[in-house]
Chains A and B, each alone.
Chain A
Amino acid sequence: MKYLSLLSSLVLVVSACQPDASVSSTEAVRIRWARDPETLDPLTQPNQNATDASYLLHLGLLQVNYQTNEYAPALAQSLPGVQVLGDSLTQLDYHLRPTAAWDNGRPVLATDVAFTLKLMHCPGLPNESAREQFGFIRQLRADPADPRHFTLVCRGQANDYQITSGDFPVLPEDILDPAHTLRDFPLSVLQDWLPKRPPAPAVAALVRRYLAAGLAKHPGHLPGCGPYRLAAWEPNRRLLFQRKAHWWADALRPVPFVLQARPRQLDYLIIPDDAAAVLALRRQEVDVYPHVPARVFERLRASEAARSELAFYTSPSYDVLTVGFNTQHAALRDKYTRQALSRLFDPVGLLAATQLGEGRRTVGLLSPTSQFYNDSLPLLTYAPTQAQSLLRLAGWQRQANGQWRQPNNPQPLALALRYRADEATFATAALQFKAAAEQLSIQVTLLPMEAAMLGQALQAGDFDLYIRLVKGNPFGLNFESMLHSRAIGSGNITGFGRPDTDHLLEAIAAEGNILRRRVLLRRFQALLRDEMPILPLFFLNNHLIVNRGLRHVVISSLKPGYAATALFWAAADSTGSHSPATP
């Protein structure tokens, strides 16, 4: 009798947890996130999930069109007009869409953009990342005749200002600053405010109001101009975004891709474990699984049961596994030494071992899919014999015990290799290099580290080699942050920099003519190949698994790798419900 009651209780429990497919499949698109965004403060965006969520609630002037992998106007009516002033300034001309409006009905104006830019420089707000990223915008000139027309004056002359200048969520001025107190402060004054100087009373009051709004956890306290509002947030469990019933962009014809918002609900489920995420996908508790690890992707694709209910997508990404050398160290100062050590990495074997063969080897930091890729340069391969020749060319002599030594250096060639400890890809590459180097009697010490400690050690120059994932994009192709001598101490970890390479990097950033730019970029790739401060090994692929019932899956090379707002359910489409026309 006891077991019978237990069995009936179990039956009730099991029946209670069956998913209600008739409701959920026509309502919410359920997307797996590996981690919680932690904060939805639009100024912060500490991770990709927070950025994705911010752009569901707010809009930027420009946003990524994942169909074409280009920036497209969102709040702006078109891409900004570019005008170069003198030898150090760039002027960008923006027009806002006439129909763009906040949730409370007020229009989006140039004063909102100015207010948002000034918010990035108010002390006490969590805006350090935005301050660093958009500090090049020095001035916003509003048009007295047209409240939706303004001009941004940027310091420096770089082509990617045209797109990066609009890549931030715009916030409403009337809610946070109803008395318009921030209008008394020009943007450059806020930017040049010394840290020791106490903030102005109006700025301090604004900071208090901003923090009191609690936007990190309650973004609904601020009206947005994006297509969704946050309906529910259970920290570390899920976020539910509900489509606004009446949104200003619904009246646009045709609807631009970046302003599409087809799912009625976007339900992001936080599932940190990959095995649990796979089971949730198989049980149809999750509909979209982005950033699938390669082994999981292959195993699911090989399963006949999984193939019948899931669709698999792959696209190249702009993340490149990169080895870096500390060119400030005496042993690695010579370019032939760096070239020799580069021959001890095996990109083909590593690609097969870590990415199951998917991904593409590369000659430089530009993706092989880029029009500026230098396909004349041969791909590097594992060549220990050539490594020995290059070491001798650099002046190293092999001793009787096999060790390599230089005449003016008593120490034999020995290397410390640092990489992140939480990624198997880095460990595999490091172990392969160690095995190859020790065959030549080059002693290699592997130092796996936690991510923040690794960043600290790299900044301090306490390494010989490192292995990292460099996150790129196809837009600006500005490598000054990595390789310019001005960036030594911040982004230029290798310490590589020479006057001629600096001039080349500056010319690449400023060149507007696409043909001349291609020549410069090909020269840049050839230069990097010769000097070898960094060795890009291969570009990773982006994997996505989607429920077969979902339609209009747009896979992209840009993060997050797919367009969540473009998805819709086939059932909804087959019932004849009206969908916006695809442009």
Chain B
Amino acid sequence: MRWWLLARLGRAVLAAWGIASLVFLGSRLLPVSPEQLSLRETDDLTYLPDGTQTLAAAQLASRQRLGLAEPVFYWTRLPGPTNQWQWHGPHNQYHHWLGQLLRGSLGTSYRDGQPVTRLLAQALIVSVPLAGGAAVLATGLALGLALYLARAARGKRRAGLRAALAALQMTPVFLVSLALLLLFANPDLLNLMPAAGRAPAAGPLAAAGYWAARAVLPLLSLVLVVLPELTLPLAAALRYELSAGYATTARAKGLPLRRVLRQHALPNAILPLFTILTELLPTLVAGTVVVEVVFALPGSGRLLAEAAATHDYPVVVGGVLLVAAVRLLGLVLADVLYFVVDPRLRPTA
């Protein structure tokens, strides 16, 4: 078991490094140059360039400052019909990036010069509690709703609930977010929740209350979006387990249906839930862009989306590395949870 775990973690590290390396090289080979960000757009008539010579000098200075004047990789294919290559040695962008990575640094942002680790940390402070809280709430609600749905196959209330969950699953997340916003933070309707603004200048207790109220709508959006994905498969799995022989035997012994569901069917039905839950882990760090934009939350989803839009490659590569690492660790965690719940699945040695 321990050796298996170490092997899996080692493969996860290698995979994360491979993914990040691919994104790094891909971003550096894009035709768009990040130094354009520090120069004015050419449709702005309010500045007076001296011509292409001045523009080229400014672009070169920008590339040197951002560290983009060096070759991208250890070798480069020379232009021309002959398939020749030029070796650059350690003086290339990838080598510097890898050295920084091994020293625990992800570089600095092109936009504001801040360390990428600091930017990610600031964004994760907003995203992880939001997505984590939504995951916990959604899981609890999903368990309760699934047990309720599995108790009987028919009934108008259960059919209505199932239809509502299916409708929620089909609804895009921005519609859910905007609907909640327009419903609960609208002076023309219910004016209960703060939409966007700043905490009142009163004491820390009022500020904590404000932030708690501020988090209600984003949390509700995420819970509503994730809930069908957790509930419907679990309910179906529970219904399937109820038709198994051991469940019939338990009922024959006189156990109430509720106990049969909780103690016998649920441990077997819960295995797919672990996979779905661990797939939510990348959301904790990748953020939920739509919810963060609608509710004006400076989370990691917005950070990565804006970095990609402005070609801030160090932030993009750092974010991809983080998301890849968390996703791969999530897969390992799912396997470990499988082994804990079902010892028969444990690997030998």
Contacts and interface: CB of A to CB of B under 8 A. Distances in A.
B96 to A, nearest CB: 17
A315 interface: no
Given A16-B206, A269-B198, A272-B302, A237 B48 contact: no
Q: What is the size category of the interface that chain B forms with chain A?
A: 35 or more
B51 interface: yes
Interface stretch (A54-62, A130-138, A175-183): A130-138
Nearest to B206: A16
Given A39-B113, A285-B194, A470-B43, A164 B213 contact: no
A272 B305 CA distance: 13
B100 interface: no
Interface stretch (A255-263, A436-444, A486-494, A569-577): A486-494
A480 B112 CA distance: 31
A456 B33 CA distance: 8
Given A39-B113, A217-B112, A285-B194, A20 B202 contact: yes
A207 to B, nearest CB: 10
A195 B57 contact: yes
B298 A236 contact: yes
Contact of B51 (A14, A478, A486): A486
Contact of B197 (A35, A128, A236, A269): A269
Interface string B292-307: 0111101000110010
A533 B200 CA distance: 55
A456 B122 CA distance: 32
A237 B114 CA distance: 17
B78 interface: no
A487 B213 contact: no
Contacts of A450: 309
Contacts of A128: 35, 38-39, 58-59, 61-62, 65
Interface string A247-271: 0000000000000000000010111
Nearest to B41: A455
Nearest to B53: A490
Nearest to A305: B188
A480 B42 CA distance: 12
B202 A217 contact: no
Interface in B233-262: none
A471 B192 contact: no
B48 A38 contact: no
Contacts of B295: 273, 276
B298 A471 contact: no
B210 interface: yes
B327 interface: no
Given A12-B209, A128-B39, A273-B296, A279 B186 contact: yes
Given A17-B200, A195-B57, 20 more contacts: A13-B212, A16-B206, A20-B202, A123-B65, A128-B58, A128-B59, A129-B38, A131-B61, A217-B114, A236-B302, A236-B303, A275-B178, A276-B196, A279-B196, A280-B197, A283-B187, A365-B45, A481-B49, A488-B52, A490-B55
Closest 6 CB pairs of A and B: A16-B209, A236-B298, A285-B197, A39-B112, A279-B195, A17-B213
Interface of B: 31-33, 35-52, 54-55, 57-62, 64-65, 111-114, 122, 178, 181-182, 185-188, 191-198, 200-202, 205-206, 209-210, 212-214, 216, 293-296, 298, 302-303, 306, 309-311
16 contacts: A41-B112, A128-B58, A131-B61, A132-B58, A135-B50, A269-B196, A272-B293, A273-B295, A275-B294, A282-B187, A286-B197, A305-B187, A455-B36, A456-B33, A473-B45, A491-B49
Interface of A: 12-14, 16-17, 19-20, 23-24, 30, 35-36, 38-39, 41, 44, 46, 123-126, 128-129, 131-133, 135-136, 158, 160, 164, 195, 211, 216-217, 234-238, 267, 269-273, 275-277, 279-280, 282-283, 285-286, 305, 322, 365, 450, 452-453, 455-456, 458-459, 468-473, 475-476, 478-482, 486-491, 493
